[in-house]
Amino acid sequence: MELIKRGAEAEIHLSEWQNRHVVLKSRVVKSYRHEEIDRRLREARTKLEAKLISEARGFGVSTPIIYDVDTLKSQIVMEYIDGKQIKEALHIVGDEEQKRLCTEIGRCVGKFHKNDLIHGDLTTSNMILMNDRIYFIDFSLGGKSKEVEAKGVDLHLLSEAFESTHSEILEMFDHVLEGYKIEYTEADKVIAKVKEIEKRGRYT
């Protein structure tokens, strides 16, 4: 196995599973937590993440196929998406392709939110472009919520990601919002909440 990412919550390895190239995601043991509490938390988060990834596919958003879930080991075996991060792709394509990608990002987030799915870490590092399709990955901080606040925080995180990572093409975020409005009828409420969250940040 080849370690490709080590985060605070999980390790990501490239591996082989039934003659397929796969990603193996393993939630790491937290030694500062009580052993049984830690086991239960890792098991619950593993189950939830696998469920969210599968649900998102059902909503029409491209995500890795889940091949296997081992709750005892807190591991998910999933399809390896061999593409380029949107974080990088947005800076090497032309203006029209940037608009297309950003509109599609917005549509996908709209599909999440109209089905009350919160991604939890909406950054362009967690989107991969492969065969002209955008795949969303890493739902480890995700959940389900009907609350406008939760959806606003989700979209606000993406807005911040554009400001910090794509400041030279920040106008492209308007196309994200266009796509979001196309897909989600309650979009205006969430966008208003994003503006409210931004104001809170300025006054704290």
CB 136 within 8 A of CB 118: no
CB 141 within 8 A of CB 126: no
Residues 6+ apart with CB under 8 A from 146: 116
Tell me the C-alpha distance between 42 and 74, whole Å: 6
Residues 6+ apart with CB under 8 A from 90: 98, 101, 102, 124, 166, 169, 172
HSE, CB side, 13 Å, CA atoms: give it for residue 129.
19
Tell me the C-alpha distance between 118 and 53, whole Å: 11
Tell me the C-alpha distance between 115 and 127, whole Å: 19
CB atoms inside a 10 Å sphere around CB 46 = 23
- Considering the candidates 68, 121, 132, 174, report the single residue annotated as catalytic: 121
Q: Is 132 one of the catalytic residues?
A: no
Q: Phi then psi for 187, rounded to 5 degrees? A: -55, -40
Active site residues: 121
